[in-house]
Structure 1
């Protein structure tokens, strides 16, 4: 029987309560590796037939494959992909920001979560972000030096090379260095994002030197060259941690922050450390889910939502009721996110309770089968779109190592501040703290004391890099999207559970609810008109015509057929998924 994309996608949408509409077609950049390469005779452990990488830019996927061909493993490739994204996607991430790396070491069978989230400098007290009336100073929280946390991504690249890679760090960084020096073509998203942040970007001389080098703003088709960033990456490759956090680069970072009125100290840079944490693991139906622990809120929220939904056979319910149940599960998880979650090194996070099946059963019991539970303290404002910030990539190699990594500078182009002489665009992650308790941040998400800033503390995140594994399949999945990351990954896991292929998973229409504001957000066409009417009759407020959001990247190994496939989000035309057969033995 011929494969029918529309029919398979429709099955998934019914499973999660969405009504099918063809929002967008799958791009030609998805890739599948067939025919399968069998595991060697007598092998005690099946291995994939090659390597697969999906990332948000073709140049970063190609960089990862270049390192695989050079003898690197998935972790070396992750360094290449991450660093290249830092060059070609300054709108979304960079070495002036941070990220989370979920790793699976095939040799030991160990999963580890590498936390490279930014940390707060000592100067970043809540009072520093209030104006004369005691209100949140939004300009200071999202623009310039005060909005920037101490970067974590460079330390993560060093950590991956020293602990898990096969190749020298400078080898894995070589593609990114080359692209930064030679340049790459500017694409529409960079031009559009610069236009929306132009006033902030052009405040700072270091930023003007990079993005106005020819005297005009970036335009599609022009070449963006970043020689200072190339040199910074070279120093990182040559000197490791000290190449960024001490020495010449560190001095320039500190001088730039001071010049623009901020307060960082040399010991805060030199004292940054990544942290290895135990991933959060739970079961959903026939899947083992491995995902992000705090300071990510994503894993806890996903565990709650999926375990709540496990109490129903969604396939037997009509689309409106299925959507209602998914939304009510989202609502409860996001409420707990707001109240309980923060950096576990600073606050007591009740992870065991929040992710227990008993707690999920209690939340499930509070859901009325055909009536919405209004969220408290309605803000009345729609959740802002977050399609361009943050980035994700997924990798599986021929040994079975895998990486699911999400990295960010927070909002478009982060703080807007490039430190002169470094090419480093600083993040604006301080806005992810609860700078003023009960006041929503740029993503419409509130927080309280658990996520208040303190020196050295990591701000709460929604980044949710994840693995799922059944007896027949292994997949790595993740996405950008601010507070919507969690629901993007959630719908992706439900899609895999329904049997969809990676490219179909990446292309699915999306819905979202985050407790406050009390509204169902849906991409245009994701919900049929009759489903919207039924949801409104239950008491839901529905925004059913939002622009597409997110940029999901996923890869999968079908163990039964021993095939590899990648999926890249068609909402982002420059993404690429690619596969490489393993060398013949």
Structure 2
């Protein structure tokens, strides 16, 4: 297997629940013997909410492209799915630009404020202060999504930013009916939301959780989005909006400054590109750990023919590859603008050869034999959407405010729910964050630094089919996307890939998480005899997939069926 990390970084100035998936079909018949299509001629969108997917199609109908549609989807999700993402958070985007046939990665990840101090995240006894790391203004990094949306419109879109933001502004102003996931999140976080008046005013109107069927409006966020549409970056990172956010953070004891806001910049990077058995995989570079881990796992697996091993040994090989990749994730990775990482080593097929030799053929390798550490269960938050437009432009965007409803802190007068991404730093080296992931000095907080992420938006180009894929899910994002890629390579359609049963191992804790029904009784028994500890938990993730079959020139879009409110549709 050949892996190429195209690793030049360009600093840009200022600068992205009812699940839904839609695709528009081309009625022109085609056969498998016909030449491969050069452009779809139709579009597909899969996102976590029907209103967001519809917003994307609304913008496409105005003459926009996939990048304009991405702005519409992301901003609408900020309104209707704030438990997972929003303009108070950040995103990572893996994109294919049809004109010029080039691949791009947009890093709109949050950054640490200049006054960051690791001591603020410690209890008096030196243990991690989970409340400071996860709730309130100290838990929040400087948002990147607004700048990312501006960057997409300016450099890749066809429409004015105001046109692409219009559906989100309308939805926030006129109102919508919250879905059960949002209502449940508000109920779960009610006590935290009540700690800050602006949070309670936004999420607990009349002092209580909104009822199913209520119309919920967010006029403050509508106004903030309108200023962003009118003035671009200046409408969020300077002027009245920035001052309101910084004043609110200070009033609650935080340490942001106007300079933190005005100095935020998006980074445009070249994605990690690798070849796995004839499939080109385009995925996220650091500060995402996802692409490196996926590449390392696939490098290891490339030495095996998974089609010629039984189910038990296929799972065994995948788990052992996951284990080794997550070990390296913990030790080496961070923000490439601050940390020198041994990426040539981690992405080398020769390094993978060495790791492959450490896998025993019929026995699990205890993680304690690789290096001692500890961890906890990963969480299941964030959001992902996938888009292919009629010209073949592709966008895979994973966006987040980190934990459910982020910091639960809303900046008064803005409608902006701030993220709690500071917990994604290694605030205390070798102590697990909320997702059970460990970290070293490579991911320690520093002024202006981007925290490590598991987000893994990816594009997979095969001999005759192309997939745009990604998912939320904390540390499980990496293994979900990996297993989705393998399911696509095995021939699965969009529904098959999104529905594929999942398992997860992240080095520590040394357990294999499984969904109900992932393994039959005989497979579970065989894995247990090999030394694995299996732990069943509720289904996880919210994968959204769009697949373009270039033989038949059909687009297929699917939203994860694990969500009762999910929807997959072709039109």
TM-score (norm 2): 0.93
1:491 aligns with 2:494: no
The 1:190/1:338 distance shift into structure 2, 3 A limit, reads same
Structure 1 residue aligned with 2:173, among 166, 181, 202? Answer: 181
Distance 1:579 1:453 in 2: 44
Partner secondary structure for residue 267 of structure 1: helix
Distance 1:318 1:45 in 2: 35
Question: Contact between 2:246 and 2:256, CA under 8 Å: does it hold in 1?
Answer: yes
- 1:181-203 per-position Cα deviation (integer Å, ceiling 9, x unaligned): 11111211112112221111110
My pick for the range that moved more, 368-377 or 400-409, is 368-377
Question: Contact between 1:510 and 1:526, CA under 8 Å: does it hold in 2?
Answer: yes
Q: CA deviation at 1:338?
A: 0.2
Which residue of 1 is the match for residue 557 of structure 2?
Answer: 566
1:361 aligns with 2:353: yes
Which residue of 1 is the match for residue 5 of structure 2?
Answer: none
Q: Gapped runs of 5+ residues in structure 1?
A: 1-26, 581-585
Q: CA deviation at 1:322?
A: 1.3
Structure 1 residue aligned with 2:540, among 549, 556, 575? Answer: 549
Distance 2:357 2:373 in 1: 26
My pick for the range that moved more, 368-377 or 440-449, is 368-377
Distance 1:234 1:57 in 2: 22
1:314 aligns with 2:306: yes
Q: CA deviation at 1:345?
A: 0.2
Partner secondary structure for residue 404 of structure 2: coil
Question: Contact between 2:22 and 2:570, CA under 8 Å: does it hold in 1?
Answer: no
- Alignment map for 1:281-320 (pairs within 5 Å): 281-320=273-312
Partner secondary structure for residue 359 of structure 1: helix
Distance 1:379 1:188 in 2: 37
1:167 aligns with 2:159: yes
Q: CA deviation at 1:176?
A: 0.3
Q: CA deviation at 1:57?
A: 0.3
- Matched positions, count: 548
Structure 2 residue aligned with 1:419, among 391, 398, 411? Answer: 411
Q: Gapped runs of 5+ residues in structure 2?
A: 1-18
Structure 2 residue aligned with 1:239, among 231, 239, 246? Answer: 231
Distance 1:176 1:291 in 2: 28
- Alignment map for 1:444-523 (pairs within 5 Å): 444-523=436-515
Distance 1:50 1:350 in 2: 42
Distance 2:376 2:170 in 1: 42
Distance 1:335 1:509 in 2: 24
1:53 aligns with 2:53: no
Q: CA deviation at 1:36?
A: 4.0
Distance 2:466 2:546 in 1: 8
The 1:117/1:499 distance shift into structure 2, 3 A limit, reads same
Question: Contact between 1:61 and 1:578, CA under 8 Å: does it hold in 2?
Answer: no
- Alignment map for 1:105-120 (pairs within 5 Å): 105-120=97-112
Distance 2:54 2:126 in 1: 49
Which residue of 1 is the match for residue 249 of structure 2?
Answer: 257
Question: Contact between 2:193 and 2:199, CA under 8 Å: does it hold in 1?
Answer: yes
Q: CA deviation at 1:282?
A: 0.4
Distance 1:79 1:137 in 2: 36
The 1:31/1:572 distance shift into structure 2, 3 A limit, reads farther
The 1:35/1:44 distance shift into structure 2, 3 A limit, reads closer
Question: Contact between 1:52 and 1:577, CA under 8 Å: does it hold in 2?
Answer: no
1:533 aligns with 2:550: no
Q: CA deviation at 1:37?
A: 6.5
Partner secondary structure for residue 487 of structure 1: helix
Question: Contact between 2:21 and 2:570, CA under 8 Å: does it hold in 1?
Answer: no
Distance 1:506 1:452 in 2: 34
- Alignment map for 1:6-17 (pairs within 5 Å): none
Question: Contact between 1:30 and 1:503, CA under 8 Å: does it hold in 2?
Answer: no
Partner secondary structure for residue 518 of structure 1: coil
Q: CA deviation at 1:556?
A: 1.1
Which residue of 2 is the match for residue 352 of structure 1?
Answer: 344
Structure 2 residue aligned with 1:100, among 92, 97, 111? Answer: 92
Question: Contact between 2:30 and 2:551, CA under 8 Å: does it hold in 1?
Answer: no
Which residue of 1 is the match for residue 214 of structure 2?
Answer: 222
The 1:29/1:64 distance shift into structure 2, 3 A limit, reads closer
CA RMSD of aligned residues (A): 1.8
Which residue of 1 is the match for residue 392 of structure 2?
Answer: 400
Which residue of 2 is the match for residue 23 of structure 1?
Answer: none
1:410 aligns with 2:402: yes
Distance 1:29 1:258 in 2: 41
TM-score (norm 1): 0.91
Distance 1:215 1:144 in 2: 20
- 1:435-494 per-position Cα deviation (integer Å, ceiling 9, x unaligned): 000110000111010000000000000000000101201111000000000000001000
Partner secondary structure for residue 403 of structure 1: strand
Structure 2 residue aligned with 1:326, among 318, 329, 332? Answer: 318
Distance 1:133 1:266 in 2: 33
